[in-house]
Structure 1
Amino acid sequence: MAAFNLTPSGPSTFILNGIPGLEAAHIWISIPFSMLYIISLLGNFTVLFVVSKEQTLHKPMFLLLCMLALTDIGMSSCVVPKALCIFWFHFKGITVDSCLTQMFFLYLCADTHSAILVIMAFDRYIAICDPLRYATILTNALIAKLGLVGLIRAVLLVLPMPLLLRRLPFCANRVIPHTYCEPIAVTKVSCGDTIVIRMYGLVITLVIIGLDLTLIGLSYGLIIRDILRISSKKAHRKALNTCTAHICVMLMSYTPILFSTLTHRFGQGIPAHVHILLANLYLLVPPMLNPIIYGVKTKELRDKVGKYTCRMGLPGATHFKPASQEGERMCPR
């Protein structure tokens, strides 16, 4: 309680309580939180570094991986530093403006992330169904433009949320049982009419996730249709292997978001700490696993990462395949 009293409070301040019911375990919870965050940063910055350094990786697919890495870094960085301040130092206060700013950038990154997954599905469709025209259709310039469209869409859809919340009157009790400024949690401490903001939040979630999942489903429906027309089992395996990484990343991204969103709105019987843990895990686990999945499944990226780990003499990097040579050779000693 003494630590709580050190938290600044006032008419322009919210109190983020962390994970309700598990306050005594905050220190222990911070250990996996910080480990997941560090691994996520290392993995995603490695992807950005390797792709930027290697001219042979300046291709649409790897440009998309860099965009995905940036949104992953953004999502986790919007949440984890403040959560660790709550867990370690009991710094629970956050101004209203800082709270709404955190909310804006978090959902900006999340919605842009969803748009990038749609572009990736389009990329896989062209690679499998029209491979001869892949280089002509999907240029780096087109990918950059599509990424910009996804970012603009996210700004236009997310910006009204904090603006609407900024106009609401808030009660004297401004304690938010969460580790970050989630729109539903912030709405619950308002004393005004929140029907508009609640409806907008639900509609925007269904529109973004529903539209993006529909486009992804359409892409994979066309891919499956074309695969079934091919009798070669080897071609089937190759096409499936081409899509595996994207399917894994997509499932990791959308499944926890849908579950967390729906249970937070309609799952009244689920304990609050379960809601909060899920809301944090879907911002931590996918950003950590995405670079690992693409590093394992994408040979070009795996080889280049292996080359740099060999140069740095890191343990576990036993060999790599240079793009200019066939076969494997040992790391230089």
Structure 2
Amino acid sequence: MAQILSHPFRTLAGTSAALLIALFSTPSPAHGATDRTPPTVPQALRVIDATDSSVSVAWTASTDRSGAVTYRVYVNGVQVGSPASASYTISGLDSDTTFAVMVRAQDRYGNVSAPSAAVNGTTAPTVPPPSGGTGAPRNLRLTANGYDSLSLTWDPAAGSVMYYQIFRNGQWVDTSYGTAITLGHLAAGATYTIEVRARDSQNNLSAPASISASTRADDGAPSTPANLRVVTGGTGAPIGLAWDSSTDDRGVGVYWLFADGDTVFSGGPGVSFLALTDELCTVARGETYTFSVRAQDLTGTLSAPSTSITVTVR
């Protein structure tokens, strides 16, 4: 088997962020085939807390021989989160509703475990606060919208106001002691109805000021990595691969390198030195491989595969 080492290299002209992967034929009997064994199934999934708009769950951590495990959390069969630790709070839920939650584990090579046993979580009912005669906030307006956040401001309400309560799609989600708020953990490209009510010193709640606001939409997958090419050494033998960086409106989070369709490497953008001894362990001297690269953005969306190239390791 060939051992894969990495070396720093100078960025080539026209290359905004190249990655160099050096291939050397040093025997490495300890390395086997690409890891295709998934992590153990998450155990003892349980509800540890619930509010009128969220459910918190925890579970016994999975194990995997690669050592690096993340999780996928599902509500009613739809993935809603990917935490790195063995607990998660699912927010933005309807009140007084029961949801089925399950968890899968994923290792660094993309192998995914079978699902955990499902557990039901029930949100608490919303207790509407009493209405009163305090004046409603005025001129509620959007000041900024991100991919997962909305920032709003408003003019003060008349009367003895103690604070303002903010509602999202009818659910009380935050409190502000000023006249501005930023709501986070929202979905990209989604539209929300935001209401602001004033609470006075007599505990009365005003009529709402309301606005419909949308987060920015993800513009799609990253651009396809371009110019995948062989880098040769002084003898003309191939010593590595390089490619031009992709672009994305939210930013590229990782590149995936495939050899004959199998994932053999993942690494962040803009890196010019990578230690890949443990990652690229399936390349053998004298063997020929077809390589391709895909970019993944910060929302998990993958680009189309790059043009593939075939390389014989010498």
Which structure features the higher share of strand residues?
2
State TM-score, norm by structure 2: 0.22
Which structure features the higher share of helix residues?
1
Which structure has more relative contact order (CA 8 Å, sep 6+)? It is 1
State TM-score, norm by structure 1: 0.21
